[in-house]
Every structure is written in structure tokens, then in C-alpha cells.
Amino acid sequence: MNDYYSVLGVSRDASPEEIKRAYRRLARKLHPDVNPGDEASEEFKAVSQAYDVLSDPAKKSSYDMGQDPYGGQGAAGFGQGFSFSDIMDAFFGGTAAGGGGPRSRAQRGQDALIPVDVDLRTAVFGSEEDITFDTAAVCHTCEGSGARAGTGKRTCDVCHGAGQVQQVQRSFLGQVMTTRPCAACRGFGEVITDPCFECSGEGRVRDRRTITIKVPAGVDTGTRIQLTGEGEVGPGGGPAGDLYIEVRVRKHATFQRQGDDLHCSVELPMTAAALGTELPLETFDGVREVGIRVGTQPGDVITLKGLGVTRLRSGVRGDLLVHANVRTPTRLDTQQEELLRLLAKERGEESPEANFQPVGQGLLGKLRDAFKQK
């Protein structure tokens, strides 16, 4: 039986990545385009054959048990390859005799998930974003066939193109016939004689892509956008899976989002809160004047209708709420202190009466009432 581990120069407990690296190193050295000659060609075929067996989990498992798809069968242990799974396959839905024939090399690719960071303005109005990501793409060298240019595939010598082999085995239940995917061709019914140097017969390679996606208005952190057929290309150049974009909205310097509403706070001098004023606010819709009414109290909320986030699917926008934070002066000169004392005297507030209330009736209560009015 051939010693495929020695051919590739790896140990029997080598990982799939170590096996692939060993194959690529030897393939570059022995490839007929690089090293012409009959001896190198034979060595290249031996290396390709070894990789074909050790890179496939089913073939490798059979080989480790003593069955060589290219060089006959060795002792496979109890019952000449018998295992309890054979009986289970035969009686409980395994591949029955006379199954469905060879399977296609082209398989659907996996779905992919990519996070994309967007700013709050994008969440309000939507936008188009360019994203770059690594994925599995069709090998341009072999165009997904997996075979080196100028070569092709040959019918499997073991299953003769059926993609399956039948075995009759003795068991304590009597003779059991099972039909299994052919280990020599992995159920494809044909074997690639000279795998593509670029993709090692896989029909696909890792590649970097840049696509433009449309981010709808109203997205929030955790929103997923599905792009059909933009995921990874499958083995054998098979159809691509889907691509999922997971949105993450960055924090904004001024606004905080709560549902479809935007919130911010403004710090007011005591005089401005008492006398009232108008303050310019740079919103996502341009500059808007925030009207501070006379006698504004700490925690009062000024609502700007329709300047919030667009509601996903409906297109209706939330509001922008400005929370007033009144600033009391801590340092007064003599003249300012005299003016305030005069104001307190005029208002009869030189010795104010204490008016203690539960917390819910004060600032927190005002904030709660403001949200209830929404």
C-alpha cells in the first residue's frame, strides 16, 4: 500500500492545513510547467494522488484503516471493513443499493456575515456604502473546473463513473449489502488527473471583493441586510451563498438615539432660562432654532417634530427632543450679587419657604411626564 504521508513529507497526525501546505510546496517544485521531465512528472502525479487521498476526510479515514483507493485494500480490522454503521445505513436510511448516482462537483457555497459600521446620519436617511471583504471566488485559472489547463477528468476506475460502490458483508444478521460513495472519486464518478495549480482542484480561491450596498433609512445596531448570491462561491465553482450585512451604528457627538427619536441636552444660563431665548441647533436637516420659553425649568423638554430617525419600512420620522439643563452661577462679583439680592427682595424670595417633595414629583417626574406626552 502506498505511503502517502511519506510522499508529502508529513506525519500521520498532520492537520489539513499542514497537508495543504506540504502539497503546494511540492507542487510548485515538481509541476511540469516548472520542472519538465518524465521523472518530475511521475513525482508530481504521486504527490497529487497523495493529496487527493489525504485532503479528503472520507478517503483519509479509509486509508488510515488500511484501504488505499489507488493501491488496493489492506487489512481493515474486524470483518474486513465491517462496521456497525454499515448495518445502520442499510436498515435506517443509509444509501441503499442502486442509489442516485454520482454527485456534482459544483456545490452551493456558504453564507457569509460581515459587520459594517455606519454613522447616525446614515441611520436617519439611509445611504450607499462600499464594503471590501475576503471571500471564496471562482478560480480564474481553471474557471471552476479544478483541472489544470489542457487536462480534464477521467472516469473513476473503481466505480466506473457511478459515484458509488456496493459491498456485500457478513454480519450477525446475515449478508448485508450497502451502497456507499466511492472513496476513490469521493462520489463524483470521475477523477481530476492534474489538479489546478492555483486552487489545488477545489475550483475556487480566496479573493478580495468590493461591492456597493444600499443601507435603508431606519437601520439600527443589529439590523441585518441580506444580499442573495453574494456570499462564498461553492466547491467546483458552485453557486454562491448569501451575504448578510450586520449594521453597527456609531455613537454621535451630539445626539443619542432612543427608538425613532433623537435626544440631546442644552445647558442654559439661569438668566436665559428665566427670560427665554432662541438657540440655533445643527440637526441632520440643517440649522433649526430651539425656542426656550420664559421660565424654563431644569429637565424641561423642547420637542422638534419630525427631525428624528426614519422608521424602518414606514418612512415616518420620529422627533428630536432637547432636554434643558439650567446652569446656576457659582461665582458672582459684588455688583452681580447685589442685583440678585435686589431681585430676590422684589420677588419676596429673601427667605423662601421649604417645599420638599418626593423625588417622583421633581426633576425625574418631569422627565417621565415628558415621555408620557409622546
- Predicted local confidence at residue 172, as pLDDT: 56
Query: Superfamily for 1-81?
Result: DnaJ domain (1.10.287.110)
Give ranges for CATH 2.60.260.20 in the chain. Answer: 256-372
Give ranges for CATH 1.10.287.110 in the chain. Answer: 1-81
Among residues 38, 358, 317, the alpha carbon closest in space to that of 46 is found at: 38
- Predicted local confidence at residue 253, as pLDDT: 95
pLDDT in tens, 45-69: 888 888 888 888 878 877 877 777 7
Tell me the backbone φ, ψ of residue 123, rounded to 5 degrees: -65, -30
Among residues 94, 117, 367, 73, the alpha carbon closest in space to that of 245 is found at: 117
pLDDT in tens, 275-309: 999 999 999 999 999 999 999 999 999 999 999 99
pLDDT of 312 over the 90 cut: no
Task: Give the annotated binding-site residues.
Answer: 139, 142, 156, 159, 182, 185, 196, 199
pLDDT of 251 over the 70 cut: yes
- Predicted local confidence at residue 318, as pLDDT: 96
- Predicted local confidence at residue 35, as pLDDT: 67
| Residue 296 identity | T
CA–CA distance, 357 with 334 (Å, rounded to integer): 33
Q: How confident is the model at residue 82 (pLDDT cuts 50, 70, 90)?
A: very low
CA–CA distance, 216 with 348 (Å, rounded to integer): 58
- Predicted local confidence at residue 359, as pLDDT: 65
Q: How confident is the model at residue 40 (pLDDT cuts 50, 70, 90)?
A: confident
Report the mean per-residue pLDDT for the chain. Answer: 83
CA–CA distance, 347 with 326 (Å, rounded to integer): 20
3-state secondary structure of 372: helix
Lowest mean pLDDT segment, chosen from 176-185, 193-202, 295-304: 176-185
- Predicted local confidence at residue 1, as pLDDT: 67
- Predicted local confidence at residue 171, as pLDDT: 58
- Predicted local confidence at residue 149, as pLDDT: 87
- Predicted local confidence at residue 184, as pLDDT: 87
Q: How confident is the model at residue 78 (pLDDT cuts 50, 70, 90)?
A: very low
Task: Give the annotated binding-site residues for Zn(2+).
Answer: 139, 142, 156, 159, 182, 185, 196, 199
CA–CA distance, 63 with 15 (Å, rounded to integer): 16
Lowest mean pLDDT segment, chosen from 18-27, 137-146, 169-178, 331-340: 169-178
Q: How confident is the model at residue 348 (pLDDT cuts 50, 70, 90)?
A: confident
pLDDT of 368 over the 70 cut: no
3-state secondary structure of 237: helix
Take residue 135 and report the three cell numbers written for it.
Answer: 471571500
pLDDT in tens, 83-139: 344 444 434 434 433 456 788 888 899 999 999 999 999 999 999 999 999 999 999
Residues 292 and 274 sit within 8 Å (Cβ to Cβ): no
Q: Which fold has domain 256-372?
A: HSP40/DNAj peptide-binding domain (2.60.260)
Residues 233 and 136 sit within 8 Å (Cβ to Cβ): yes
234 torsion bin: left (phi>0), alpha (psi -120 to 50), beta (else): beta
